[in-house]
Every structure is written in structure tokens, then in C-alpha cells.
Chain A
């Protein structure tokens, strides 16, 4: 057994887009790992031990050494297991991949998640919808090939799983249509290609369960008004 592959564990939650990123990367590279479903309401000793700083998932544990923060984990996976690279080899292309993944996190994920949480504040909600649309527009203009990674999926595509799978869910739950095929034809086409990719298809959570989970959360936010 290769030294690289002794023990790989992923502490995660099936509902998390960040955990999903890591699963896609691991599966893309053919890495065997153990998935530990964490109860985020009652955090396990193991989670607290392996991610004392943020106490969040995902945490990748490789030979008992933990790594947290999904984009940091993706880089670690790419550097440790060289098959099917997810980052380009050219330094400038790598900076672009890192830039756009950070953009997705800082601008798109942040604003979209706030769309759910601002259900009781009309003004704040509108602001976050606007910000999401603006950021999506910028990303739409950036997409030039089949995938952000070119002909094959790469770092940015994996980071963007949130857009392909979680944003449509947010729309269905809130009734707000801000990521439409009409406004974002390239991103929609990309979404379809991405979600149909053989590895991605098998590693996104079942939609019904995800929908039920987030809807329950959303309804409880409304009820708490």
C-alpha cells in the first residue's frame, strides 16, 4: 500500500457544499477514504480535536494529520496525490484558479447564503440578491471553455459546485429566481455539463434530502420572526 494512502478520513456533513468539494476531489483522484457524518448541532470530540479553531466541516484527516478549510484541503489533495491534477501547472494559470475560487467564496457563496438568512429583512435580502447577481454576472463573463478548467473539470469548477447545485436549491426554497438560464446562459450550460460529469454525478447529495433539510431550516427562520 502506498505511503500516501494509509488512512484518509473526511469529517463532513452531507448537506455541505464545502464538504462536497472535497469529496469530488478525492473521488476524481481515486482516493479511498472513510466518511464520517458529523452532527453539527452536537459536535463530536473528534471534530473539536481536529478543527479546534473553527469547529467546522470539512476536515480532511490524513494519517492522523488534520487539514481544514475546503480550498486549503483541495490544494493539499492536489499536491499529495498527483494523478488527475485539479490545478494547472503554470504558475499564472494557478493564480487565476485561486483568484476565481476565492471570488466564488467571498462574493457568490457569501451573498447567496445571506439570501436565506435575511428572509425576515426585505431590504437586506434585496441587497444580497443584487450582490449575488452582480458576482454571477462577473463569473459568467469569465467562463470561456466547457469548464473553468478547460476541457476537464478543475479547481474552480469544483469550488463552483455551490453554484451548480446549491443555488438552484436556494431559488426553489425562497421562490427567488436570480440565477436564471436567460440571464446566465453560459453558467447554466456549464452547470449541466458539470453535474453530468461521471464523478460529480455520483458525489452530489440526493436533492430531496438536501431540499428537506434546508427548507426546514428556512421555515424555522421565518417562524422565529
Chain B
């Protein structure tokens, strides 16, 4: 019996991008369904009644919500190739810790960079750069957070790179200047086919951010 895999997603979502990358890394065929977040499909509401959010991975009719949980599920089920989590329990714990750190720091703080002004924005700038620098430190001399190849933390983090033009323009920061190694890592990641074919263009995401800012009245 062939597997049926569906991804309910929204193209600029960094969380959706994580699942796209994981599926691509494992060579899994799936159906991509674009959701209109102002008009959520009955399928989305049925598959994620608790949060009513994307992304949702549906495997043979069973839904998995929360991107990092979905990526771990993919890694555990399709365990024959491209492992995303290391096999050693301690290394796994560190990968989970840093992926969780990305969740706690990058999305919310990044959002504040393009939605806030004045003191709040200044605070966000400081926090964002600190987080990037800490991640850069954690990367160290490794090619990827996963070592020689893409791992769980890389998958968790690289999608946010597509939002950097927006973060930098509206947040008035220059990430390359502050953390050149971080940008070098990001550029290495997007050379990987599973990553590049899963991520939208930075310019396209930037235009999306410009639209949202108008809609929510940030100018």
C-alpha cells in the first residue's frame, strides 16, 4: 500500500518550510495544499481542531501538527535515509534543545523587528542579534548544525533566512556584519537541493511582509 502524505501549508510559513525540507530530504512524495488563512479549509479545521493552524502533515489520514513534532515523526517513520536527528541520545537532546531555542527566540523576536517601532523595536534588535550570535557560537566550526550534513537544527532554523530581507530592512540590522559565519552557514544550506526547492525566494517573502505591514497598519 502506498503512503498517502499531504501537507497543509502556507507558502511563506517558516514552520511549513521545515516540513517541506524534511520531506524532500527523505525523498517522500506528497501533496502540497496551499491554505488561505483568512478562509481555512474544512480539512484544516478537521485535522488541527486544537490550534487551527498550518502546517499540518497528514500521513495516511492521521494528522500531525506542530512543525518540529512533524519533522521528528518524519525522521522516525522514514528512517532508512538521511537521518535528521543523531543516533546518540545526548546529541539528540542537544539538537532538540537548540531547535526549541529557535522556536522560542527567532520567530517572535524576528516578528517584532518588522511590526514594532521605537524602544520595542530596539529591544527586539538587540535580542535578535544576541540569538543569532549564540546560534553562530553553537555552530562553531561545523559545516552544519548537524555536522557534515543537514540536521534537525538546520531544518528548524534555515527557513527563517527567507525572512531576513524583511528583518534587516525594517529592523535596520545587518546580520552578515554582526554574524558572518551565520550567513555563511545559511548560504551553504540553500545550496542543498532539498532546501532550495522547499524555500521561497527572499524577495517574494519581503513583498509579502510589505503587504502585511500595510494590512496591519505598521508604517
Which residues from chain A sit less than 8 Å from chain B, CB to CB? 53, 62, 65, 67-69, 72-73, 75-76, 79-80, 91-92, 94-95, 98-99, 102-103, 138
Whether A79 contacts B97 by the Cβ 8 Å rule is no
B89 cross-chain contacts in A, Cβ below 8 A? 76, 79-80
Encode contact with A along B76-114: 1 for CB under 8 Å, 0 otherwise.
110000000000011011101100110000000000000
Whether A76 contacts B93 by the Cβ 8 Å rule is yes
B216 cross-chain contacts in A, Cβ below 8 A? none
From B16-24, B63-71, B154-162, B188-196, give the one contacting chain A. Answer: B63-71
Whether B72 contacts A98 by the Cβ 8 Å rule is yes
For residue A31, give the distance in angstroms from its CB to the closest CB of chain B: 14
Whether A68 contacts B96 by the Cβ 8 Å rule is no
For residue B47, give the distance in angstroms from its CB to the closest CB of chain A: 12
23 pairs, CB–CB < 8 Å, chain A vs chain B = A53-B101, A53-B134, A62-B90, A65-B90, A67-B90, A67-B94, A68-B97, A69-B96, A72-B93, A75-B92, A76-B90, A76-B92, A80-B89, A91-B76, A95-B69, A95-B72, A95-B73, A98-B66, A99-B65, A99-B69, A102-B66, A102-B69, A103-B50
| Docked pose: A53 CA to B62 CA in angstroms | 36
Total B residues in contact with A, Cβ cutoff 8 Å: 22
| Docked pose: A138 CA to B51 CA in angstroms | 11
Which residues from chain B sit less than 8 Å from chain A, CB to CB? 50, 59, 62, 64-66, 69-70, 72-73, 76-77, 89-90, 92-94, 96-97, 100-101, 134
B76 cross-chain contacts in A, Cβ below 8 A? 91, 94
Q: Which of B66, B77, B96 contacts A75 (CB 8 A)?
A: B96
B59 cross-chain contacts in A, Cβ below 8 A? 92
B134 cross-chain contacts in A, Cβ below 8 A? 53
| Docked pose: A92 CA to B59 CA in angstroms | 9
| Docked pose: A143 CA to B100 CA in angstroms | 26
A94 cross-chain contacts in B, Cβ below 8 A? 72-73, 76
| Docked pose: A99 CA to B73 CA in angstroms | 11
For residue A149, give the distance in angstroms from its CB to the closest CB of chain B: 17
Whether A99 contacts B66 by the Cβ 8 Å rule is yes
